[in-house]
Amino acid sequence: MIWVNCCHKEKHTSTKDILLQYHNLVDVSPFEILSTMTGFELIFIEIQDSQSNGFKLLRTIKQRFPDVKIVIVYHDLDAELAVSALRAGAEDILSSNAIRQKVDACLTRLHTHDDNMINVEDISQRELSILPALTIIDKDISAPLREEELASACQFSSTYFSRLFHNIMGVTLKQYIIKKRLDLACGLLSSDQEKISAVASSAGFKDVSYFSRVFKKHIGCSPGEFRASRQKKMKFFIVNLINSCQSKIFIAEYFNVTVTNIHNDNIP
């Protein structure tokens, strides 16, 4: 677990104290976080309120490491904070003065991959009104998602739902769905060797040519180039791990080889 303080000054937080006491928590500067990550961490970002620069850091991390789970830890709760966290890609929000039961509940939600990560008690009725559509998008991202069906799930007309969604989320419904599908595609490209066409289909893109064009437009490279760069980074990470005896034992168990046989060429 990593703690990143994006407040202007140090403040006491009982949430951090609980994590330090019962879990393995490491403090990392917001200026160093990206260079120290492997892409599989659980990160707590401490912010003051919804205007914090921590949301910019959150979006940057999510863009580079789609599989990372991030919790926003806030000091001042305002009407915009929960929806800002949702827009930026946070899995959950947590008060800086949370009791242990709240912290444990948050970790449980993350561990079980609950689709409704954001606590509905912290979301205004206006934002709550589009949660049925957001839930459908999260559960059925690879399926055809029609605006009229999502609007109906929220009991709105298509026209009103479209305006309301844009007003709350800051992007159109189409833009939001594309972002979610690209996030999923990035995760699939980073973790398996499926064909590009299979990744496109799993992420909700039925036309692989369209998927490649959209991917390059938003990510800045082709799906194949993205996968190659991730594999290169992962191999570099594994090779660095080999330098320590403890890491050799871990890698030997992970790849089912003996410690004495570990060489760079033996790493898959």
Instruction: Give per-residue pLDDT as tens, 76-123.
Output: 887 678 888 888 889 889 899 988 888 888 888 776 444 444 444 444
Q: pLDDT of 183-213, one tens digit each?
A: 888 888 877 677 899 999 989 998 999 999 9
Stated pTM of the model: 0.46
| Predicted pLDDT at 155 | 87
**Which residues on neighbouring strands pair with residue 26, listed in sequence order?**
2
Q: pLDDT of 5-40, one tens digit each?
A: 998 888 889 999 999 888 888 888 988 888 878 787
- CA separation, residue 136 to residues 77, 140, 147, 195 (Å): 27, 6, 11, 26
| Predicted pLDDT at 177 | 93
| Predicted pLDDT at 78 | 73
CA-only gyration radius of the chain, Å:
20
Q: What is the mean pLDDT of the chain?
A: 80
Buried b (16+ CB within 10 A) or exposed e, 26-52: eebebeebeeebebebbbbbbbbebeb
pLDDT band at 67 (very low <50, low <70, confident <90, very high): confident
